[in-house]
Amino acid sequence: MAAASSRRFQSLMPEIGEIVMVRVVNQDDVGADVRLLEYSDIPGRIQEVAEFVLHREEPAVVIAVSPLVVLSRDVGFDDRFLCSQRYLEGSFVIWVLRSVAIDLGRDLLSIQVETQWPSYELLTHRRVLKKLPVGVSPQVRESLIQNLSKIRLDTCRINDPTLLTPCPANQTREDCWAHALTSQLEANLKRSGKMPRDDYLKAEDLFLKTPSKDEGVIESITDASHALTVVGIESKKGVVYKAISISVENEVDLQPERWDTLLEDLAKDEVPVTVTVLWFPSYEHRNGDGIYKPTDDEWDTFKNNPDFYKKTLTHSMLLTGAGTDEIDGTPYFEMQDSNGDVDHGDRGYLRFARLPYSLVLEYVEMVVAEVSFATMFLLIFMTTLVV
């Protein structure tokens, strides 16, 4: 999860014009009280007559710093994504430095000062040791390298954040498949240059155009194929977009290790993909914290009767990345949920355990542009290697 309320910068206060990540803690008729998450939770105030969502984390621009930090929500499209990207990169830096501090029995601030407040770019550089300041002790250097080898984060939220649709603000469990599929189509279109980055597809349009049971339940992801490839999905700007084709791939013919490796490759790819995951009853009592995995009893029940769970307890999400837990190094897949972005994981993104569990049942292949012969040959060759 994001390392909220930790100081990220050497400066104690933001500068006027700086875009910062804030959390709404109170609201009234003329604005909202917020906390600046990158500056040790110092208080701020947004003086706007507008609707606020309590506990939401969002970018805001600093317009005054004395005697109180005053902010505005008037942040441009690119700046919003850059702020979210920087915030997640800063979380990664905090995870690593905090682990170093724990290893050496020191406080986080002393490690930040000794390493001179390193950036994400520095810590992820292949020659990080040569980039560190001269005064960093051998003990800190050694612990830093050990933790960098343990803590991993590879996500579209950092690599290309404007591909992603913002997480839904409302709780929408029944139409999870519509959110995931429209987000995947949208990301593919934007990546191929066929759709502007500041436009979004309407998940509700796909929902309405796909035949379904009561409350939007569909039998299979392929039920949405006609709407996606023939009818088309309307965007916020009124443009209708289509996919050329979609197909659903599952784990039936692959060993768990090979399936997990394939999913990791997809998670680290340039474009997120829709996946269907097992959704166990114990998940309903969580708010997105930690790594999702079944209880021992649930996993035993699934292994004894997998068809029951596959037919009744599944959930569609968007696979956006992979990483390792900053505390114990547990590998996980990162997924964007459709169940709201407030007090739910890391602003709507959840972590799911990998092996020995196999929680992902299938993923969606989607084509939005004609594939050249050379590309097709490469795809066939890579598939052969995986199988």
In a domain, 262, yes or no: yes
49 and 113 housed in the same domain: no
Question: Do 279 and 193 fall into the same domain?
Answer: yes
Is residue 1, in this structure, part of any structural domain at all?
no
pTM, rounded to two decimals: 0.89
Query: pLDDT per residue over 163-218, tens digit each?
Result: 998 876 665 567 899 999 999 999 999 999 999 999 999 999 999 999 877 666 78
Query: CB–CB of 178/206 below 8 Å?
Result: yes
Pair 356, 208 in one domain: yes
- ∠ CA 85-76-29, rounded to 5°: 105
pLDDT given at position 375: 46
Q: What is the structure's pLDDT at 236?
A: 96
Q: Which CATH number does the domain housing residue 113 bear?
A: 1.10.150
Query: What tens digit of pLDDT does each residue of 338-383 get?
Result: 888 888 899 999 999 999 999 999 999 999 975 444 544 544 554 4
Same domain, 106 and 184: no
Domain end (from 39, 58, 75): 75
Q: What burial class does residue 299 get, using C-beta atoms within 10 Å of its C-beta: 0-12 exposed, 13-18 middle, 19+ buried?
A: middle
- Cα–Cα distance for residue pair 132/134, rounded to 1 Å: 6
Which of 75, 52, 53 has its CA nearest to residue 62? 75
Total count of residues recorded for the chain: 387
Whether 143 and 104 have beta carbons less than 8 Å apart is answered as yes
Q: Are 163 and 190 in contact (CB under 8 A)?
A: yes
Q: Which residues contact 133 (CB under 8 A, 6 or more apart)?
A: 114, 115, 116
Residue 368 CA, chain-centre distance (Å), reads 23
Concatenated DSSP letters for 272-331?
-EEEEEE--GGGGG--S-SEE---HHHHHHHHH-HHHHHHHSEEEEEEEEEEE-TTT--E
Domain assignment of residue 39, given as a range: 19-75
194 with 146, same domain: the answer is no
* Pair 235, 164 in one domain: yes
Q: Look at residue 131 and tell me whether its pLDDT is greater than 50.
A: yes
114 belongs to a structural domain: yes
- Contact between 93 and 120 (Cβ < 8 Å): yes
204 and 59, same domain (yes or no):
no
Residue 125 is classified by DSSP as S
CA dist 220 → 86, 205, 273, 339, 368 (Å): 37, 18, 16, 20, 21
Q: CA of 357: how far to CAs of 146, 257, 353, in Å?
A: 26, 10, 7
Non-local (6+) Cβ contacts of 193 within 8 A are none
CATH number at residue 171: 3.90.70.10
52-61, 145-154, 259-268, 282-291: segment of lowest average pLDDT: 282-291
- 329 vs 232, residue with greater confidence: 232
Average pLDDT (231-235) is 96
Give yes or no: residues 124 and 238 share one domain.
no
The residue from 33, 52, 75 where one domain ends is 75
Query: Which CATH number is 25's domain given?
Result: 2.40.50
Whether residue 54 is contained in a domain is answered as yes
Q: For the purposes of burial, counting CB atoms within 10 Å of the CB of 158, is it exposed (0-12), middle (13-18) or buried (19 or more)?
A: middle
Least confident of 79-93, 133-147, 237-251, 335-349: 335-349
Domain boundary among 75, 92, 115: 75
Q: Is the pLDDT of residue 250 over 80?
A: yes
Are residue 70 and residue 83 in the same domain, yes or no? no
Give domain status of residue 247, yes or no.
yes
Statement: residue 297 has pLDDT above 60: yes
Distance CA 52, CA 43 (A): 16
For residues 157 and 84, the answer to whether their CB atoms sit within 8 Å is yes
Q: Is residue 6 part of a domain?
A: no
What's the domain count of the chain? 3
Secondary structure letter of residue 201 according to DSSP: B
Are 138 and 227 within one domain?
Answer: no
Does residue 112 share a domain with residue 64?
A: no
Query: 188 to each of 98, 123, 172, 216, 350, how far by Cα in Å?
Result: 36, 30, 23, 24, 22
Shared-domain flag, residues 94 and 129: yes
